[in-house]
Structures are given as C-alpha cells and as structure tokens.
Structure 1
Amino acid sequence: MSIGLGIFLIVVGAILVFALDFSVTWIDRDLVGYILMAAGAVIFVLGLVLVVRGRNSTTTTRTIADPVNGEQVTRRQTNIDDRDLQ
C-alpha cells in the first residue's frame, strides 16, 4: 500500500511540475509538486524497507502440570515468518 501511495504522489507531483502550464496567484504550483515528489520518495523508500524487513510472529501456549491432581502438560509453539509464505 505504501509503495503504491509513494508512486502515486511522485506521479502527481511530476504532473504538477512538468506537465501543467497554468499559474495560480495564491499558491506556487511547482513548489507543491516538488513537495509531493519528495513525500512520495520518502513513503516509497519506507515501504520498501518495511517489505524487505518482513515480520516475525511467535505464539507459545503452555499448560503447567498440577502435582496435586496430575493434570497433563501441554506446550505448543508456532513460529511464523512472512518471508516463508512468499
């Protein structure tokens, strides 16, 4: 999602700077375009970092045995790495 948003902001900023030829007295269109392109580049890079980093999730369930009534000990551990799913 963030990679697509970054590309979208870069494209909109480039259109404002290079493709449109109009002037507005109360706003600098080129400055807004450059700001959008810079924000898009930052969001794009952050999105790439988050995708490459991946996510790890570990779930552990434990049941402790009661020595008085002899309940069963149950231990289940699940490790999930998003890079394994791709």
Structure 2
Amino acid sequence: MGIGGSILLIVVGAILTFGLDDTDLGPFNLDTIGWILQLAGLVGLLLTLYFWNSRRRTVVREVPPPPPAGNTAIPPATGEEVIEQRRRRY
C-alpha cells in the first residue's frame, strides 16, 4: 500500500468521521466507515514502516591495519590489476 496510500486512507476516514454532519447514508453509518478507514490506514502505515526498516542492512567492511613504519617493501602483486581511466567531459 505504501505511505501515500495509508495517509490517504487516514485522511478520507477523518473527513468521513469528523467532517460530515449527516452520518447516515442509507443503511451505512459514515462515522463507522470513517473509523474503519482510519484504522486500515494506520495498520498499513505501520506495516510499511516495519518492512522498510527490516530491509535496511548494515555492511561492515574490515580495513587492514597499516603496514609497519620501518617496512618499505612493495607488497607482491595479486595477479588482478585494476586499471581505471577517466576522461574529462567538456
């Protein structure tokens, strides 16, 4: 449903509940319909926020410690070289 749809249900339900003087529309009570829409919007909003929060993942990256100060040797090549070329756009 999403946040927008949930807020829309809450707003429409509030208008039906608090904004109308005539609460009966045939066999339907608009106050009851308004409260139901507000409750459905609130449940949808809470579910959306819960699932958005559960999708977030923390990525932990280990950084190797710096080499000792006295060691100036070049580390051996790993066989995989990454060559990056950047061109300027004018």
**If the TM-score is normalised by the length of the shorter chain, which range does it land in?**
0.5 to 0.7
Deviation per residue, 1:58-80 (Å, 9 max, x gap): xxxxxxxxxxxxxxxxxxxxxxx
TM-score by length of 2: 0.57
The CA RMSD over aligned residues, in Å, is 1.6
Structure number with the higher helix fraction is 1
Partner AA of 2:34 in structure 1? G
TM-score by length of 1: 0.59
Unmatched 5+ residue regions in structure 2?
Answer: 58-90
Deviation per residue, 1:28-74 (Å, 9 max, x gap): 10000000000000000000011111167xxxxxxxxxxxxxxxxxx
SS, match of residue 7 in structure 1: helix
Partner residue in 1 for 2:35: 34
Partner residue in 2 for 1:50: 51
Unmatched 5+ residue regions in structure 1?
Answer: 57-86
Rg comparison, structure with higher value: 2
Structure number with the higher strand fraction is 1
Q: Which stretch shifts more, 15-24 or 43-52? A: 15-24
